[in-house]
Every structure is written in C-alpha cells, then in structure tokens.
Chains A and B, each alone.
Chain A
Amino acid sequence: MLFQLTRRLLILLASLAVASVLVFGFMAVLPGDPAQVALGVNATPELLARTRHEFGLDRPLVVRYLDWIGGLLTGDFGRSYVTGERIGPSLVDRYGVTLWLVGAGMLVAVLIAVPAGVLAAVRHRRISGAVISGLSQLGVAVPGFLAGIVLVQVFAVSLGLVPSGGWTPPVVDPVEFLLGLILPALSLGLVQGAVLTRYVRSAVLDVLREDYIRTARAKGLTPFRALLRHGLRNAAVPVVTVLGLQLTTLLVGAVVVERVFVIPGLGSLLLDAVGNRDLLVVQDVVMVLVLTVLLVNFLVDVLYAVLNPRLRQVG
C-alpha cells in the first residue's frame, strides 16, 4: 500500500513536470506579441523592443522556462504583461471563486442524482423508473450554457428572484453571495446531475442483484428498505470515483458558466488572458487547472484503493 502510494506520487510529480514543459512550449508558439498588446496601436519599434526586453521576452526559451518554473516552485507566479500586477494574488482569488462554483454545482448534482438514481434503480421495472431514466438521458443531451441562459431569463429577468450574474464574495454579503450562486450552480449541476443519475442507477442496480440483498428481500423487506439497510455503502464505491472525475469536468465547465453569469473566476481570467496574449497568466492558469486535475485523479485513485479492498492486492 505504502509502495503503491509513493509510486503514484512519483508519477504525479513526473506528470506535472512533463505538463509544465508542454504548457510552456505551447505558449511559446502562440501568435501575437504581448508587448504589442500592452502598448496598443502605433507603438514604435524601439518601444516594442524595450518592452519586450522589460518582459524578458528576448531571452532564450530555456531561460524563460526555468525562470517561470523556478518562480512557481517558490510561489511566485510572475507579473502580468498587461496589468503589470503580481499574478499570484488574483489567481488565488479567482481560484477560490471557481471552487465555490464547482462545489455548489457538485452539491446540486449529488442532491439530484442520489435520490433520482436510487429511485430509478429500485423502480426500474416501473413507469416512474423509466421516466427518470428518460429524463436523465435528455438532461445529458442539453448544452449546459443553454440551461444557464434560460435560467437567467426565467428566474432573474422575468421573476426577479435572484441576480442575473455577477459575484459577491461571501465575506462581503453572505446572503447576496448565496443568491448569486444559485443559478450558476443549477446550470452546472443540472446537467452533471443527469450524468451522475445514470451512474447511481446502475451502481444501485448492481447492488440490488447481490446475494445479500436478495436474502434480505426474501425475508420480506421492500427493495428500498433492503437497499437502505445493506446496499448504499457498496453502491457508493463506483459513484465516488465518478464524482471525482466529474469534479474535473465541472472545473472546466465553469469556464462557460462564468461567461454566462459574468463571474470573475479562473475561466474568465483564462479567456481574457488568451485574448490579451497575457502569456504568463495563460500559462499559470492552465498549469493550475492541470495540477488540480492531476491531484484529483491521484486522490480518486487512492480513495478507490482504500474503499475497494480487492484492489490492494494487485501489484
């Protein structure tokens, strides 16, 4: 187990190193000149050269890479070419916003999927089960941003119940914060909830077929009772791993939702930075996202090994 863990950890580190080279290499071939963007129209060649020098863009690629990666390791994300500001603080801020979004979206997804999935499984021979399955199929097929746009029109613009967008940090005004979180979380969570419902349903169906449930049912328990008493924990194992993977889906899915709801998260930072050729910001954001995904995958692997004793034996 310990050996497995160290091995996984080493793989994680190696992956991060390779990913950083890939990200940096990719940014290096981007067309568009950050110095030009910073200076705007009509910048003179001399000024461009000076600015490029200030940004350190005239140094060899290897030096730039080492400089960047060295900074990252010491917690220094560098300075934005466009704003001249330190990237670290705003990156942390934006990351926090996106995490709130993802967390809330996840919560919505789970709140939908667990009851719906269990119900669909327990009643899979009945109409109600089929209806839930059908709805989940449909939910998977709807573009998430469409859900977002429609939600805004109905609940914010027409009914005026919640804000149509924007972001209020929880420390500033907790009530406003929660209200503002509702629609983005719903548009993230509804679709993912539909996806998750299908997995919960099948996991529960699997469990229902196990002997101990059959025994329990033979003793006269309803399928639902039998499941509650014996099966839910077992069904949770595959669902938890799916949840882990959905976390990364939501992290990137937040890019689009942030656009719809004008939320200053990591996604909008990334899109703006791409448009501005704020290379360093792009590099940092992509790296943070990739790091998060790798970490989540790592944790899911570990969790899976812990939850599933059979896997512990496999070398």
Chain B
Amino acid sequence: MAGSGCSAGSTATASRGPDAISIGFTAEPANLDFTHTDGAAIPQALLYNVYQGLVRLDQHGKIQPLLAESWTLSQDRTVYDFHLRAGVRFSNGAPFTAEDVRFSVERVRTDWTISLKSAMDVVDHVEVVSPTRARVVLSRPSNNWLFAMAGRLGAMFSPTGVADLANTPVGTGPYQVVQHTRGDSIVLAANPGYWGPPPTYTTVVLKYFKDATALTNALLSNGIDVISAVTTPEQVPRLEHDTRFQVIQGTTTGEVVLAFNNARPPLHDVRVRQALTYAIDRRALLDVVWAGRGTLIGSMVPPTDPWYEDLSGAYPHDPDRARALLAEAGQTGLTLRLRVPNLPYAVSAAQVVKSDLGRVGVGVDIEPLDFPAVWLKQVFTDHDYDLSIIQHVENRDITTFGNPRYYWGYDNPEVARLLAEADQGSEAEQVEDMRRVARTLSDDAAADWLFLLPNVVAAKKRVTGLAVNQVGDSFDLTALGRAAG
C-alpha cells in the first residue's frame, strides 16, 4: 500500500486501489477524433497513450523512436527510411505494418480537416518496402515534417479501426478508451495486447473541470490524484506546503501573447508597437496574472526549442521612452480596442495592460469575447481588433509569423524566407535561421510576448514519472509510476 494520500478523506477517492489513478484537466475534448476536431484537449488525452506515431517527442523537445526503431535520412534530406518495430498490434488485434504507415500518412491529406494537416503537404509519396520498412519521400527537405510526425499528425491508424474515431479510437498504445462521460471524464484501461512494458496504472481516469478552483479543490479534498496543470497560481504555495502533495514546475510551449494588429493603423507603425512594449511592465504583469510563476521570454520561442535565446531584456519597462516613441509617431490621445477571450488569465492580463498603457496616455477598451466562438470569428478570422491577448500553445508556432494572412497581420518577406530556409537546412542552419527569426520579430515588436506559462503539476507524493516540461501534444501517461512505501 503506497503513499500517505490514500488514507485521508476516504469518502472522496475517485481512484480506487493502487492500480488506478485519476488526473484532473481543465479543457475537455468535445469528442475523441483529432483528425476532424481542432484543439489541444484530444491529443493531450490520447496521443502516446492510445495512439502512437513512428516517433515521439521527449520532455526536452528531442525526437525519439517509438513505433520506428530507427530511421535513416538520405543525403538530399528528402527520403526517410523507417525501420518499424515488429510484433506491434492495434488494440483491435490488427497487426501494425508498413501498410498502416502509408495508410495513415496518406489519410491526413484525404480525410483530415484540421488546419495542422498542411504540414503533411510536403510528403510526395510513401513506399512500402517490406512489412517492417516504410519509406517516406518528401517533395523537398523539411525539418518541420519529422517534428510534426512526433505530434498528432503522426498518429498511426489501422484501416480496420477508423470507422468511429469520435467515439472508438483504435491505436497501438498502452491504453484503450473504455468510457467517455461528456462533461465529466474519460476512463482509460490498460491495453492487454500492448507491445511494450505494461503501464503501472491499469486504470486511468481523466477528469475534466471547467472551473480552475474546482480542479484544485478536487486534489485538496482527495477527489483526484494529479492536477495536470495548475491554473490557480495563488493556491500553489498551499499545495507546496501540504505534506500530501508534490508540486513540479517546468516550462510549457504556451506563450501568452499580447497580439498587435500589425496590418492596421496605428499598430502598423513599428514605433507604436515598440512604445506599447516599453510601456508594459511584464514582470509585474506576471506577478499579478500568474503569481510570478512563468518565464519572461521576449520572443515566440520557449526554452525547450534548440534555438531558444532569452530576449526578455530587449524592451525594459520604460514609460518615458514609450511616451517619446508615441509622440515621435504622432500618436497622442490614442485609444485601442483590446478584444480578449473571456478566459481568466486573459481578462486578468488585459486589466494590467490597460492600467500600464493608461500611464503612457494610451486608452484601452477591454472587450471580453466568448471563447472560442466569438473570439475565433471576430479576432482570429476577421482580424477585427487592435490588441488581443491569448495563449499560443502549439509547438513551434513561431512559424505563423511567416504567414501574412495570419491574424498578426505581420508581413515580412525576410522572416518568411528565413523560416523556409530553416525548414530545409541542416540542423545547425536551422538553429541559426530560427534565432534570426526570433530576433527580427523582437526588433519589429511584432507582438508583445508577455510571458511563457509555467507547467505546474501537483500530485500525490506517491505518483512518479510526471514530466517537468510540457512540450508535445500529449500528457504522457506511460512514464507514470508509483513510489514504493
């Protein structure tokens, strides 16, 4: 019998027995089909746990083998030869072979609808060399492609298991979905035919809490064993001081960005953007919004990317400089519309931004919009905004600055060129190019990167193997263990 947490509050234990664990999340999947439904919630629950790809991302952002034992890359960087693990079966019993690789990769183009699928456009064709060898031929070199294959795009499906993706996912992973109660939970059970070492916990309950405080309360009252990501920063000290729990803090890929509408006056003027960036005290903002936890980054790169550089010093808090720049740009008596999703962190940050900008004479009208619906439509799609605040969670989303039609409205051919070059170049070239992109964005004040969300995981002390950093699409359950004693 393990852990001190098991004894207390016997009334409310959601996980019964040492082989079960229950983990609390805030964002609930609408269904179980990430090929048709966008958002982080579905892959978070299913990737690496139910679905597996040829490769996976470890918590330091490195690509590691998964269903492919190894692979080789041709001299011209366009042909990948994957050597597949033998003896792997899908949870419906079908064997996993190179045919499934071809099926899955091609299916992205034919059947997927989410926007991410464009990362697969670079694939020219897939050859089945033998049952355990698959060859993917790209139309041009692409580093981003292999990286994308470590995420949900690389998930391997069986032709025999795609009939009802929204409810019955079939993958090669250590778990199967046994129950989905909408508005409440998803229950995963160990897949008896799994090829790898069986997971420690045979039953995993993923519980969803719309309200962040309710999520924290659930751990405190013994209703769950793990909080996947604590979003009530003010309560972290309390969790840290409680002898029943451990609190782990690392980084995420979630940049909380104050977006500028670069395409429209007055924010098309770099001086105005720089002025706003000087005007905002990001350290104070982080203190208020996330109790000081989190990282100031200064560009769109989290520390887990190989080309990370700390650019947070580029625009020190300097209201006088901000006023001078605004005067130089001829912008006095400015009033901007700050249209934010009605999510707690965004609404909090908006109030700090308004207060800071007020001190340099810039008026701000805060408009909270229903998220996702109204924000997506009006800000993201119609670009109807001056300022917005949102967390960009996707991996390596710095590439969005290469797309002039993205809601940033940022159009810099040099950045687009560097991004393309980085995609095709060697590892060293990629790092160098990406560094230059990040610096250019910072120089242009293309946005104000307020801070990087911390990855704060709180759990009962007996739970081991929790990832420090949140890097990929998945909340990886396979490494979880149980402390002895």
Contacts and interface: CB of A to CB of B under 8 A. Distances in A.
Interface of A: 31-34, 36-43, 47, 51, 82-85, 90, 94, 149, 152-153, 156-157, 160-167, 176, 179, 259-262, 264, 268-269, 271-272, 274-277
Contacts of A34: 373
Interface residues of B, number: 44
A156 B214 CA distance: 11
A275 B166 contact: no
A12 B138 CA distance: 66
B208 to A, nearest CB: 8
A164 B220 contact: yes
A37 B11 contact: no
Contacts of B370: 32, 274-275, 277
Given A37-B373, A38-B37, A85-B166, A264 B12 contact: no
Contacts of B14: 166
A152 B217 contact: yes
B3 interface: no
A275 B372 CA distance: 6
A260 B377 CA distance: 29
B113 interface: yes
A43 B211 CA distance: 29
B381 interface: yes
B221 A157 contact: yes
B402 to A, nearest CB: 13
13 contacts: A32-B370, A32-B374, A83-B166, A149-B213, A166-B184, A166-B207, A259-B210, A260-B211, A262-B210, A262-B214, A272-B210, A275-B371, A277-B373
A140 B470 CA distance: 46
A259 B213 CA distance: 10
A167 B184 contact: yes
Nearest to A152: B217
Nearest to A81: B30
B473 to A, nearest CB: 14
Contacts of B381: 36
Contacts of B167: 85
B240 to A, nearest CB: 16
A163 B30 contact: no
B218 A166 contact: yes
B114 interface: yes
Nearest to A169: B181
A209 B259 CA distance: 70
Contacts of A176: 11
B38 interface: yes
B423 to A, nearest CB: 18
B478 interface: no
Contacts of B9: 160
Interface string B161-183: 00000110000000000000111
B12 A179 contact: yes
A164 B373 contact: no
Contacts of B8: 160
A33 B214 CA distance: 30
B84 to A, nearest CB: 31
Interface in B48-88: none
A214 to B, nearest CB: 52
A166 B30 CA distance: 18
A264 B370 CA distance: 20
B115 A160 contact: no
B30 A82 contact: yes
Interface in B179-227: 181-184, 207, 209-211, 213-215, 217-218, 220-223
B211 A179 contact: no
A170 B220 CA distance: 24
Contacts of B103: none
B371 A40 contact: no
A166 B211 CA distance: 11
A166 B223 contact: yes
A264 B9 CA distance: 23
A41 B221 CA distance: 37
B30 A160 contact: no
Interface of A is mostly: helix
B184 A47 contact: no
Given A32-B374, A82-B30, A276-B30, A162 B12 contact: yes
A140 B381 CA distance: 45
A39 B38 contact: yes
Contacts of A85: 31, 166-167
Contacts of B217: 152-153, 156-157, 164-165
A262 B371 CA distance: 19
Contacts of A272: 183, 210
A161 B36 CA distance: 43
Contacts of A47: 113
Nearest to B215: A262
Contacts of B11: 160-163, 176, 179
Closest 7 CB pairs of A and B: A40-B38, A42-B115, A264-B183, A277-B373, A160-B9, A32-B373, A164-B217
Contact of B223 (A37, A40, A164): A164
Given A156-B221, A268-B183, A37 B211 contact: no
B221 A37 contact: no
B160 interface: no
A102 B209 CA distance: 21
B305 to A, nearest CB: 21
Nearest to B219: A164
Nearest to B377: A32
A78 to B, nearest CB: 16
A160 B182 contact: no
A202 B373 CA distance: 48
A31 B223 contact: no
Contacts of A43: 113, 115
B483 interface: no
A40 B12 contact: no
A167 B210 CA distance: 13
A274 B370 CA distance: 8
Nearest to A45: B381
Contacts of B292: none
A177 B371 CA distance: 32
Contacts of A82: 30-31, 37
B139 interface: no
Contacts of A167: 184
B282 to A, nearest CB: 25
A160 B377 contact: no
Given A269-B183, A276-B30, A37 B210 contact: no
B284 interface: no
Contacts of B380: 41
B210 A40 contact: no
A36 B376 contact: yes
Contacts of A51: 113
Nearest to B380: A41
Given A160-B9, A179-B12, 5 more contacts: A32-B370, A34-B373, A41-B115, A162-B221, A164-B221
